């Protein structure tokens, strides 16, 4: 997605060979017009997958998920990182380790909002080692629902999360795939060019 | 806002005289079409206030904020409840006590995204005793920015948060104002009728 790549090039900050900071438009400050375009792109990609619900993880996954769900005319449910006293229902829970934050979080979704009849589109802001996405996949499986696909805003293609998910048979669509963050520079995977030169 | 009140009547669950659970469309599962309508309503209400940015608090404030910001064509920034290792910049922080969750959270925003030239529209999902909104107000004041207004999806008008904020001189617009949750029933403040019968 060109608009997203241009935004990453213009505003993303490479903090290390593994960390890209995009908090000016995705993780802290949010560009709602870009989120709308991202939502339209995911909806276009997954429109024939029979999606009944979008599942994401608070907080940075919420904006792109709501825009995608608006286009697909389905609800969103976001997994919570901590239990709330007002969430008293039965929960589906799993533990996710964040390498970025160096901590484990228990994430949970109310059973009421993940039903076995659902076809779930998982959306998240980043895919690196795949811990968060695998956690969400596990919750959908616990609910007995199907996974329609996995939509990722930014995939760090030099880490193995995407490989793991694709080897499990899931359709993973990433709107920007980063090949490397070496030398303080963002280098994208150029899929179209690779395919043309095959 | 009639559509919102109808949704609260149809799907809201009264857990006690103080707690209304709306996790089927706002706090856990999100109805994106309703969020779009909420965004349009807030944008209409605050369109002449010179808003340069929407400020909210993760996580339930994000969906209505992004939709409002899309209509107003301004960015959103969401205050975080915990510090992230990838947020290394100078932060504006304050402490907010949640009566619902019975805990204090330090909330923070990067100084970079709250500038003294900004006119901030604060959006949140609920207003009860006002702790979260007052925390956000305090952050805007620390940044030296102006407050364009405060938009609340659901105000518990039987608690004193709205009174506190209005007495401080802020324009508070709540899309649904709840007069009481007594007897397991949601009763709305009927402002229009009250004004007609004056």
pTM to 2 decimal places: 0.94
Closest residue in A to B101 (Cα) is A85
- Taking only the tens place, the pLDDT of each residue in B36-83 is 999 999 999 999 999 999 999 999 999 999 999 999 999 999 999 875
How many Cβ pairs closer than 8 A exist between chain A and B?
121
Distance from CA of B138 to the nearest CA of A (A): 18
Distance from CA of A165 to the nearest CA of B (A): 25
Q: Which of B70, B81, B88 to mutate to test the interface with A (most CBs of A within 10 A)?
A: B70
Mean pLDDT of A84-98: 75
Strand boundaries in A29-102, DSSP class E:
29-30, 53-57, 76-79, 91-98
Q: What three-state secondary structure class fits B160? A: coil
Mean pLDDT of A109-129: 97
Distance CA B17, CA A196 (A): 64
Q: Does B91 touch chain A (CB under 8 A)?
A: no
Q: Does B154 touch chain A (CB under 8 A)?
A: no
- The first and second tokens of residue A36, run together, are 């709308």
Pairing of β B76-79 and β A29-30: antiparallel
Cβ-based contacts of A86 with chain B (< 8 Å): 15, 19, 21, 23, 27, 100
Treating both helix axes as pointing N-terminal to C-terminal, what angle do B32-46 and B2-11 enclose, rounded to 10 degrees?
140
| Position A102 confidence tier, pLDDT thresholds 50, 70, 90 | confident
Q: Does A153 touch chain B (CB under 8 A)?
A: no
For residue B110, give the nearest of A28, A69, A73 by CB distance.
A28
- Tell me, what's the pLDDT at A87? 53
- Tell me, what's the pLDDT at B198? 44
| Weakest mean pLDDT among A22-26, A184-188, B110-114, B191-195 | B191-195
Treating both helix axes as pointing N-terminal to C-terminal, what angle do A32-46 and A2-11 enclose, rounded to 10 degrees?
140
Q: Does B44 touch chain A (CB under 8 A)?
A: no
The interface predicted TM-score of the complex, written ipTM, equals: 0.93
- Tell me, what's the pLDDT at A197? 47
Distance from CA of B172 to the nearest CA of A (A): 23
Q: Does A86 touch chain B (CB under 8 A)?
A: yes
């Amino acid at each position: 997605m060109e608009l997203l790549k241009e935004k990453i090039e213009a505003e993303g900050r490479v903090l290390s060979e593994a960390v890209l900071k995009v908090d000016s438009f995705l993780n802290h400050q949010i560009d709602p017009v870009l989120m709308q375009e991202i939502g339209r792109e995911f909806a276009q990609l997954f429109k024939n997958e029979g999606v009944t619900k979008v599942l994401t993880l608070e907080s940075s996954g919420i904006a792109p998920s709501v825009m995608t769900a608006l286009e697909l005319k389905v609800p969103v449910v976001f997994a919570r990182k901590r239990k709330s006293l007002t969430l008293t229902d039965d929960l589906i829970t799993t533990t996710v380790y964040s390498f970025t934050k160096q901590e484990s979080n228990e994430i949970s979704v109310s059973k009421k909002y993940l039903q076995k009849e659902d076809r779930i589109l998982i959306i998240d802001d980043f895919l690196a080692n795949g811990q968060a996405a695998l956690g969400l996949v596990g919750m959908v499986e616990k609910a007995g629902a199907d996974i329609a696909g996995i939509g990722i805003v930014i995939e760090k293609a030099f880490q193995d999360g995407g490989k793991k998910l694709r080897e499990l048979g899931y359709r993973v669509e990433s709107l920007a795939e980063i090949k490397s963050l070496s030398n303080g520079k963002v280098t994208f995977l150029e899929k179209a060019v690779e395919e043309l030169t095959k």
